[in-house]
Amino acid sequence: MDFPLYKTKTEGQDKVFDLNDPEDRKLYFELKAGPEIRKLKEYLKNNSFIAYLLGKKNSGKGTYSKLFMEAVGFENIGHIAVGDIVRDIHKNLETEDGKKNLLDFLSKNYRGFHNIDETLDLIMGRDQSSLISSELIIALIKYEISKRPKQAIFIDGFPRAHDQINYSLYLKELIGYRDDPDFFVFINVPDSIIDERIKFRVVCPICHTPRNLKLLATKDIGYDTKDKVFYLMCDNPSCSQARMVAKEGDSLGIEPIRSRLEVDNQIFQKLLNLTGVPKIYLRNSIPHKVAKDYVDDYEITPQYNYDIDSATDKIKVSESPWVVKDDQGEDSISLLPPAVVVSFIKQAVEILGL
């Protein structure tokens, strides 16, 4: 399916926003979606929803949901990353109260093929003979939702396997005590964008802040004269401009996760054809040839270019639109996350009938 183009361009508006700055983002969201944000805030005072974030690994599910929450308010919306649930529950099991609460909940809510002791072994990784079952994942999602009964919920990473698709269709019924509107949020990101996000990402070895040499530069740039490469220096003052480094294997891009991306895409395509559940369509990229008609220049992801001024020997940093091939081979530009979230907010208001 070719996702519809969503226009965020504001005619007659000369203001340029820095979408990496929280204060500028606040002004940006007010300009682009102020009325819709107020409708959602009013709705969330007494109502909630369940939204399933669907997209390939590294497609930005967590980023988009967190920016949605930033725009609308964190107090009435929660984010559940299924991939993080087991890790978080490990921490709960370190305390007697946490362990008791989980055991009490599972004894009342888990239906599956393992007893409670076997279930704990699976969660803690002590039993390596089988994967955590979909039945147990459902129970753990229900456990996480039970902690926030009055919040709207973004569920990130479910379904992530073919046998979980049918569960996702009836999750609202399976968890039992939520009668909220639910909808799917489809996030379409070309493989080429995911590939370059991985290949050029770096992290500070001290504070572990992530950046991207090509797409999210720091204030200060260094140059390694031996290897003849530019590098980013961490902006955190306490890190004393530490050289940011790539993670092992990142130079391979999407190759190590290609099989995972293929499964994600199969699930994605299957659910696109589903009827009976409302859908939101988010696209990270739009054709380069029509970009100026649909978005403002500052909403386009820039590519950072580095050079050394021969006269001063100083590093020069310039920006240009990041042009990539989409999955159909068409030249496209990538949108910065806040621009995608504007369409997210507006479509959510339409689906909820506000």
Question: How high is the pLDDT of residue 10?
Answer: 87
Residue 209 lies in a domain: yes
Q: Which of 76, 61, 24 is nearest to 337 (CA)?
A: 61
For the purposes of burial, counting CB atoms within 10 Å of the CB of 263, is it exposed (0-12), middle (13-18) or buried (19 or more)? middle
Residues whose CB is less than 8 angstroms from the CB of residue 291 and which lie 6 or more positions away in sequence, other chains included: 300, 321, 333
Residue 155 or 123, more confident: 155
Instruction: Give a yes or no: residue 145 inside a domain.
Output: no
d(CA 241, CA 234): 5
Band of the pLDDT at 168, cuts 50, 70, 90?
A: low
Instruction: Find where tokens 């989409």 sit.
Output: 326
Return the half-sphere exposure (C-beta side, CA atoms, 13 A cut-off) of residue 147.
14
Token pair 């994600």 is found at 264
Longest dimension (CA), the chain: 73
What are 75-133's pLDDT values in tens digits? 899 888 877 877 777 777 677 777 788 778 777 777 777 777 777 776 666 544 445 67
* 224 strand-pairing partners: 229
Q: And the tokens for 209?
A: 């802040």
Going from the C-alpha of 323 to that of each of 63, 198, 208, 281, the distances in angstroms are: 21, 16, 28, 22
CATH of the domain at 159: 3.40.50
**Among all chains, which residue has been given the structure tokens 């001290």?**
206
Residue 166 clears pLDDT 70, i.e. is over it: no
| Within-domain flag for 302 | yes
Residue 154 in domain: yes
Average per-residue pLDDT in the chain?
A: 86
Question: Does residue 89 lie in a domain region?
Answer: no
Helix or strand holding residue 32 (H, E): helix 22-44
Residue 337, both tokens: 């996350």
Determine the Cα–Cα distance for residues 102 and 85; give it in Å rounded to an integer: 12
Q: Is position 128 within any domain?
A: no
For residue 165, give its domain range: 22-76+150-351
Q: Is 291 exposed, middle or buried (0-12, 13-18, 19+ CB in 10 A)?
A: buried
Q: Which two tokens stand for residue 5?
A: 């183009």
Domain assignment present for 172: yes
pLDDT digits (tens, 9 = 90+) for 176-233: 556 788 899 999 999 999 999 999 999 999 998 889 999 989 989 999 989 999 999 9
Q: Is residue 265 part of a domain?
A: yes
- What is residue 350's predicted lDDT score, i.e. its pLDDT? 96
Query: Is the four-CA dihedral 236, 21, 59, 330 of positive or negative sign?
Result: negative
Count of domains forming the chain: 1
Containing 109, the helix (H) or strand (E) segment is helix 96-109
Most confident of 26-40, 177-191, 247-261, 313-327: 26-40
Helix (H, G, I), strand (E, B) or coil at 162: helix
- What DSSP element (H or E) covers 46? none
The total of other beta-carbon atoms located within 10 Å of residue 191's CB is 17
Look at residue 300 and give its three-state secondary structure. Answer: strand
Q: How far apart are the C-alpha atoms of 124 and 136, rounded to whole Å?
A: 13
Nearest partner of 106 among 53, 146, 79, judged by Cα: 146
Short-list 314, 49, 303, CA closest to 182: 49
| pTM of the complete model | 0.85
